[in-house]
Structure 1
């Protein structure tokens, strides 16, 4: 298999402590986004399919919002890492997007892998040369949880240019599942965004723009201070704002757009809780999608016609006044 490049020096294994699944998980059954095979022939919402249980969408979203307060009460960890930096994490996440694409895995797997990385690094201090090992192991664990056919161990080793051995991946997998106590059915930003998109009846182009901001948010370490629901809601709001800015003659403040398009379906999430997310995420995404950025996975993916070239659109200036 042709491997995706990732320079060893950019990110040696023993993680130093700081302080069975069925083919489709419950999270997947309840939250699998019906548009994950996005493209020119974007499917219509499969609201009548049993596994998506759209009639219980509101209850599922309410449950996600309840559980996230327990799972994600504290997430920031970089200050406790002796070698890992925010920049290294961004490089790793950008590489993971290409890995997910190369392995043809679902979006659920990407977001769960990112979540596994962050939760593991919250508990373990690792050397920089093992960060990529944590990343590919997180993909393997997430794929075993979300996919019917996860990548093989040989594929995982090959995609790192044989930087690590199968034994090292297995060892890291043991460390990860032990540290996280096999808790992988969690409300990441992705299923929350999918439920919000369904409730708000957004267009396919807005969905693409939402996932542009959501994948960008996965790169942005400071956003870990916010709950996944606030990040998901902020990504949706910015997605709708970006498309409106490029297609409508009528300018509308961000807060007003929230009140009209999102708030009625947001289960009480207030604009004041989402605004700090949008203030960081919009300029961050604009920089990430610029030609001068060294991290090109998001820009390359969302500049394609498959995703309506949303990364190539003009980014708006945000006005929050009513």
Structure 2
């Protein structure tokens, strides 16, 4: 930008000009007409204004450049937790590497429902939507919900279940997940009541034995929740981003088609989609890419599906997740605007 040359051309002085104005006023340049003091003051004022405008523009450009530079930096997200023994900084990379290696063992065939004869993906969706409400009513930890759904899918992928027993599978899976994750576990009688006494205590305990044997007592599996905590940290998230990411990934629990994506990808795509919604533009830093091992291009297919779920969350038939996140406790995250531009041909970036 020609800020300096414009200043010199208008006033006819060098860059040190302000202290020479008095001399300039006393003698007009050769070949020019005489300029009155008022006219000169006006020219100087306009030149100064132009110079200040250029300075402001340059400052703004520098600020944008700094933001871009920060976005390009790879941050050490564990540095501030070095003195926190619960953060296990010395081992956290190995822990998440292990999760990535083993997440496949907790995944199921994305078309396993074709082997069921009396239930389908719509019944699964109704069950999980109801369990989300049960989970909220019992005030359980978030990881319990994700493990519950994982246990259900792994069991249904191995065992044929009649529709009249599907709800029994659901409440029993939640009981098992609670025993694995919770400090205080709901008693069997609570589950009987919440299921409108559709099953007896003996039936729940019998289903529990069948499920743990079918799964060979392997209750643990990396879920999207496990990865999302790490990826939110890499995104330097605040409470708004955290709640919106959780809302988006819980919408995916109900959707059978999302079984095609591994848990780590679901988590990364949820954080990415939430960032796009909050910021109004595509945002995936090098830090997020490093710690998630996913580039922005890897996330787009999954993210676009999430945007569609977000758009339909309020008006759909299954609204358990939307009602949960449309509360003060969850920051009214369900009211956030979907990142609809991700569905367009040329989204902003």
1:269 to 275, 290, 294: 294
Alpha-carbon shift at residue 260 of structure 1 (Å): 4.9
Give how far 1:55 is off.
4.8
- Aligned residue pairs total 266
- Structure 2 partner of 1:139: 174
For residue 258 of structure 1, the aligned residue among 280, 284, 300 is 284
Q: Taking CA–CA contacts closer than 8 Å with sequence separation of 6 or more, which of the two structures ends up with the larger relative contact order?
A: 1
Please state how far the C-alpha of 1:148 moved relative to its aligned partner.
1.4
Distance 1:59 1:85 in 2: 38
Q: How does 1:127-166 map to 2 (within 5 A)?
A: 127-166=162-201
**TM-align CA RMSD:** 2.0
Change (3 A) 1:108 1:233: same
Q: Secondary structure at the match of 1:162?
A: coil
1:1-322 equivalent positions in 2, closer than 5 A: 49-72=84-107, 74-245=109-280, 252=281, 254=282, 257-260=283-286, 262-266=288-292, 268-288=293-313, 290=314, 292-317=315-340, 318=342, 319=344
The residue number in structure 1 matching 2:40 is none
Structure 1 residues 300 and 48, CA gap change in structure 2 (3 angstroms): farther
Q: Is the 8 A contact 2:113 2:120 kept in 1?
A: yes
Contact kept in structure 2, 1:83 and 1:126, CA below 8 Å: yes
Determine which structure has the larger helix proportion and give its number.
2
- Answer whether contact 1:84 1:126 (CA < 8 A) is retained: yes
Residue 56 of structure 1 deviates from its aligned partner by: 3.3
Q: Deviations over 1:81-106 (max 9, x none)?
A: 11212111111111111111222211
Unaligned runs of 5+ in 1: 1-44, 246-251
* Whole-angstrom CA distance in 2 between matches of 1:46 and 1:303: 33
Residues 11-55 of structure 1 show CA distances to partners (whole Å, capped at 9, x for unaligned) of xxxxxxxxxxxxxxxxxxxxxxxxxxxxxxxxxx98855344245
Unaligned runs of 5+ in 2: 1-79
Question: Per-residue deviation at 1:197?
Answer: 1.1
* Closer/same/farther in 2, CA of residues 54 and 213 from structure 1, 3 Å limit: farther
What is the TM-score of this pair, normalised by structure 1?
A: 0.77
Deviation at 1:218, TM superposition (A): 0.6
Q: Which residue of 2 aligns with 1:32?
A: none
1:259 deviation in Å? Answer: 4.1
